[in-house]
Homo-oligomer: A and B are copies of this chain.
Amino acid sequence: MGSKQKILVGGVTIGGGAPPVIQSMCNTDTRDVPATVKQINALEEAGCQVVRLAIPDQEAAEAASAIRTQVRLPLVADIHFDYRLALAAVKSGVHKVRINPGNIGDKEKVRAVAECCKANGVPIRVGVNSGSIDRDLREKYGVTPEALCESALRNLAMLDECGFFDTCVSLKMSNVFSTIRAYRLMAARCDRPLHLGVTEAGGVHMGTLRSAAAFGALLCDGIGDTIRVSLTADPVQEIYAARDILKALDLHQSGARIVSCPTCGRTQIDLIPLAEAVEKRLEKLQTRLTVAVMGCVVNGPGEAREADIGIAGGRGEGVIIKKGEVLCRVPETELLPRLVEEIEKMTGETL
């Protein structure tokens, strides 16, 4: 799962087989320290593990120092064009720098950044996207996965030449299939940790769907070590979306996973409110558990077999199924309380 190589961002491991790390980016003015600190803490509360800050000028680079002392999350400095901002951000104690060496000018500037990061144990993300492909590659390939991959490899090579290998890579495009192809190309050509993202993904709903599709395709093949869901929205929404996507892929580390069947003409129980009630009632569960909510006697019992525990509906009544065995038959109104009772017994948690 993921790349064999890894980087360490603050205390967080990205790559080396670690579970996908959830990232976001502040949309506050970094120079506004209290607002940025407040947002970082809200992101952490939601489940964010690494957070990026825009560093558009020297003042922002210096603000990172004050921010760092007031938050727990590792910080990533987002730098464009000006290598001095990278040096200043590292001096401020950021835990990772995102910069494209191809954008910062001559080799001496790239070397200065690489040496500064190396001396401070700060990894670098090369973050290529459709808007930042080198002109010659864009002319040769167009805005394509191939162009992004070549552009990223070229940027990585600039750091490699400086003896700096503590890198990860992203290759974001706005089209889902192109994004998938870009990362597949990259994974085939180098083993650096990969930061997954779809760029300009859109608002909460469509942006989450685009990211779910891209991340699902890539993580299924073991491609990807950290994810960012880019949304035109409050960044806290990005964290909820990232968590939900990992849950949908059964990669999230805790809590109930509800599987429920679509309702159809065979359904003999009021399934929709029941499934919603089960989801709500188990919201706080910490233990990883698959819970089936089935409404039909045709597929229900068979499919609930894969779940740790489940209920399957009949005519106004239902059965509770545990690891494929029918535990008991109860009236419909008793299904939820008996399910919760059984889960509390299994997990030792109080729900």
In the complex, are the beta carbons of B220 and A132 less than 8 A apart? Answer: no
- Separation in Å of the A305 CB from the closest CB of chain B? 7
Q: Which chain B residues lie closer than 8 Å to A119 at the CB level?
A: none
Q: Which chain B residues lie closer than 8 Å to A213 at the CB level?
A: 212-213, 215-217, 220, 245, 248-249
Using known A-B contacts A203-B279, A258-B202, determine if residue A130 contacts B303 with beta carbons closer than 8 Å. yes
Which listed segment binds B: A42-50, A110-118, A264-272?
A264-272
Which of B232, B259, B300, B305 interacts with A272 by CB under 8 Å? B232
A30 to B267, CA, bound (A): 12
Q: Is A85 an interface residue (CB 8 A)?
A: no
Q: How many copies does the complex hold?
A: 2
Contact with B along A197-208 (1 / 0, CB 8 A): 001111101101
For A, the interface residue count at a CB cutoff of 8 angstroms equals: 83
Which of B56, B232, B238, B260 interacts with A200 by CB under 8 Å? B260
Give residues of chain A (11-40) contacting chain B, Cβ–Cβ below 8 Å: 25-30
In the complex, are the beta carbons of B267 and A27 less than 8 A apart? Answer: yes
Which listed segment binds B: A171-179, A327-335, A336-344?
A171-179
Using known A-B contacts A175-B250, A209-B208, determine if residue A302 contacts B78 with beta carbons closer than 8 Å. no
Give residues of chain A (272-311) contacting chain B, Cβ–Cβ below 8 Å: 272, 275-276, 279, 292-295, 298-303, 305-306
